[in-house]
Each structure stands twice: as structure tokens, then as C-alpha cells.
Amino acid sequence: MLELTAVDLEEVASALADQTDYDHRWLLDPRTGEVAFWTRETGIDGENPVDIDELDLIAIDPLPSYVWYQDMADFADGISDGAAGRRLSRALQGRRPFRRFKDQLNEHHPELVSTWHGLREVRAQRRAVEWLLDEGLIDEGAARRFATDHPDPDLP
């Protein structure tokens, strides 16, 4: 079992959110908790190609985009400024909702950006902890304590 402090939760969260379609993988060393970036051309050291199956590392597969989309929807629904919430909700409709949400937030509601980042980051880190638990890398008590200590921030 890993100690939760041995794992860079931001890196695991970034790997879980990585929706790019490039030929790469994020991997975690179950012995140390270190996260590595692998590509077919450059391996994990950036210079030496290596077959991913030869590595004794665990692949961090990204979560579906609807998981991250739901964070935006929850934020739009949870803020007290009804007009801003409606504009953010409308931004989520149609093509490129992630870009439109970000643009709407940055251009028309900059006062909400730090709150949005706080919600997104705490949820991403809780997902990273849940992933570690699902992989059997941390114990349930550590995961429960982390979730209790890292609730969603209050929304304005």
C-alpha cells in the first residue's frame, strides 16, 4: 500500500482528465507512487522507446468527458447568481462546451474563476484518490479521510 502523501494527486488528476487523442499514456509506479509519461517513440525517459507491456507500471486511463462536464453543470447550477448560472448553463449546450464554458467564465464572470478552479481541483483530487483506492494502492481509511477533509467549496 502507498501512503497518500507519496502520490502527486495533481498529476494523477491531470492524467485522469487527459482527453487528448495522442499516442501516449500516463502510468503510475505502484511501488513509489511516481507518475510517468510514456509515448511509443520516446518511452518514459524521453529518449528510449520501450513497449508499455514491458513496464511494471499501472496505466491511468482517463475518465470519460461527461464526468468533467458534470462539474461544470454542477457549478452553473450551484452559484447563487441566477443570471450567471443560466449563461454558464447555456454555454454547455452544443459543440465545444468545455471551451465555451471557459470563455463565458473568463470573459463575463472573472470573479467566479477562482471559485470554479477550487471546485474543479478538489473534485479532480478526490477522483484521483478514488482511482488509487480502486486500484488497491491505498487503503479505504485514507480515501475516506481525504474525502472528508476535501469537500466541495461553498459556491457564491
| pLDDT value of residue 42 | 85
C-alpha distances in angstroms, 1 versus 69, 101, 149? 32, 39, 21
C-alpha distances in angstroms, 30 versus 13, 55, 63, 130, 150? 16, 11, 20, 15, 24
pTM: 0.91
What are the pLDDT digits (tens) for 18-52?
988 668 899 999 999 999 999 888 888 888 888 88
| pLDDT value of residue 88 | 97
State the pLDDT confidence band at 151, using cuts at 50, 70 and 90: very high
Greatest alpha-carbon pair distance for the chain in Å reads 54
Average pLDDT of the chain, as a whole number: 94
How many residues are there in the chain? 156
